[in-house]
Amino acid sequence: MTSNQSPEAPVGAAVLSAGEQTPPSASRGAIGSWLATANVGVLREVALLPVLVLLIIVGTVVSPAFLTVSNFAGIGQQSSALGVVVVGESLILLIGGMDLSLESTFGLAPMVAAWLIVPVSAYGAGTDLSPYLGILVLIAVGAAVGLVNGLLIVKGRLNGFIVTLGMTIVLAGLQNGIVKAQTLFNLPQPFAYLGSASFGQLPVSLVVTAIIFILVGLFLRYHRTGRAIYAVGGNPAAARAAGIKVERIKIGVYIAGSILAAIGGLMEAGRVSAVTGQQGYQEGIIFSVFAAAVIGGVSLKGGRGNMIGAASGVILLGIVQDILDLANVSNYWIEAINGAVILFALVLARIVGGESTAEER
């Protein structure tokens, strides 16, 4: 946008020479309409700001413990794992796909890694793998799941919804199967570090998640492949006609999304110092993942959305969760209220952000 000046001259010349053409924008004047579009863009990116402010006011009223550094550090730590998965899902949504199995990858990848690391006495496999190698295994599991999903959806031309739904169940079954539904405790420090350590009050996971959001955001904005992701999601046929390798990019994004889900799973395992059979699928995190992305303005139809929006979606959900905790809402009701609040937030985001999540316009 900074170099808006250079093409100004041809625009002016065109208006003079091609008199019969009257596109709607020409009448408004080039600069004026640029301002208009730019403003819309800025508005869209900060659309959730008033909602966040409102939530913070509500939180402050509900509990004096809300507006404290330690509480926000807690929100950050709790939301980090979800946030990394949201980055992965957003990438997949941007290419016009969807991946329900990220929640199972979120559970299975750390389970496989921990299983190979911990001793047999703690229900491990007996390989006593180094925790560092364990992290590599975790990433490899994520990559493998993403590759299989990508190949089935892109090369096999199967429907992404049903493929990843099936994959969800398979992976969750593996997660329980390999350890006979046991929970793995006593994770070694290098493995648990990401989710448990902190610099003073600042959780490491929050820092890492913030870095991931920023890097992916910059990648999407300034990298050739990042731009190709928008082109593929916005109009795959046009991207293909422009010589973009559509299939390769799609498969790559499925792999990247699953690796991010695995890293999110590593954070979660470190935070709770264990890998449980419930982590991921049985917790049902995928609804929160989709909700955060969509509240943040990532289009389910592909090609629209950015990391600023996705991050604000995650923060919003984290604060809502925290307020519900602080308000001592009865455990029996917390799920219903949580779901209702997310639905309400979706409606609100639709009104503020203007993005329709309907099937057809």
Partner 1 sequence: MTSSGLALVEVTGVEKRFGTTRALRGVDVSLNAGQCLGLVGRNGAGKSTLVSILSGLSEPDAGSVRFGGAPAPRIGDIDRWREWIATVFQHSMIVPDLSVAENVFLGSTPRLVSWRELRARTRDIMREWGFDIAAQTPCRELSVEQLQIVEIARALARGAKCVLLDEPTAALERQAGLRLFERVRQLTAAGVAVLYISHHLEEVFEICQDVAVLRDGELVLTAPTASLSKDDLVAAMVGGVRHVQSAEPAEPAESGGSGESAGSGGSGQSGRSGESGPRGQSRSEELAAGGAEVLAVDDLAAQSAGGRVSGVSLRVHAGEVVGVTGLLSAGVATLGRAIAGAEPYAAGEVRMNGRRVPSGRRDLAQRAGIGYIPEDRRAEGFVAGLAVAENATMTIARQLSGPFGLLRPGRRAAAAAPLTSRLYLVSSGPGQPAGELSGGNQQKVTVARTLAHRPSLIVAITPTRGVDVASKELLLSSLADVAASGACVLLCTDELPDLAICDRVIVLVRGEVFTEFGPPPFDRDELIVATEGLSGTTYSAAHATAQEAAE
Q: Which residues pair with 275 in a beta bridge?
A: 184
**Distance of alpha carbon 123 from its chain centroid, rounded?**
32
CB of residue 245 to partner 1, shortest distance in Å: 5
- What does the block give as tokens for 280? 């991921």
CB of residue 132 to partner 1, shortest distance in Å: 26
Residue whose pair of structure tokens reads 């989710």 in the numeric block: 195
E strand or H helix that includes residue 67: none
CB of residue 320 to partner 1, shortest distance in Å: 30
CB of residue 139 to partner 1, shortest distance in Å: 21
The smaller minimum CB distance to partner 1, of residues 19 and 200, is found at: 19
CB of residue 25 to partner 1, shortest distance in Å: 5
The smaller minimum CB distance to partner 1, of residues 4 and 68, is found at: 4
Q: Under a CB-based contact definition with an 8 Å cutoff, are residues 99 and 253 in contact?
A: no
CB of residue 223 to partner 1, shortest distance in Å: 5
Q: Which residues pair with 199 in a beta bridge?
A: 202
- What does the block give as tokens for 173? 């079954």
The smaller minimum CB distance to partner 1, of residues 173 and 354, is found at: 354
Q: Which letter does DSSP use for residue 275 in this model?
A: B
**Distance of alpha carbon 263 from its chain centroid, rounded?**
12
Of 243, 212, 219, 261, residue with least CA distance to 88: 261
Burial of 103 (0-12, 13-18, 19+ CB in 10 A): buried
Of 318, 331, 308, residue with least CA distance to 81: 318
The smaller minimum CB distance to partner 1, of residues 31 and 343, is found at: 31
**Distance of alpha carbon 51 from its chain centroid, rounded?**
20
Give the CA angle between residues 31, 34, 37 to the nearest 5°: 155
Q: Under a CB-based contact definition with an 8 Å cutoff, are residues 166 and 148 in contact?
A: no
- What does the block give as tokens for 310? 């996705």
CB of residue 292 to partner 1, shortest distance in Å: 21
Query: Site residues (CB under 8 A) for partner 1?
Result: 1-4, 6-11, 13-15, 17-18, 20-21, 23-26, 28, 30, 33-34, 37-38, 222-225, 227-228, 230-231, 234-235, 237-245, 303-304
The smaller minimum CB distance to partner 1, of residues 302 and 318, is found at: 302
The smaller minimum CB distance to partner 1, of residues 270 and 309, is found at: 309
Maximum Cα interatomic distance, the chain, rounded to a whole number of Å: 83
CB of residue 219 to partner 1, shortest distance in Å: 9
The smaller minimum CB distance to partner 1, of residues 100 and 220, is found at: 220
How many other CB atoms are found less than 10 A from the CB of residue 292? 30
The smaller minimum CB distance to partner 1, of residues 3 and 70, is found at: 3
CB of residue 170 to partner 1, shortest distance in Å: 30
CA pair distance 82, 120, nearest whole angstrom? 30
The bridge status of strand 202-203 relative to strand 198-199 is: antiparallel
The smaller minimum CB distance to partner 1, of residues 35 and 347, is found at: 35
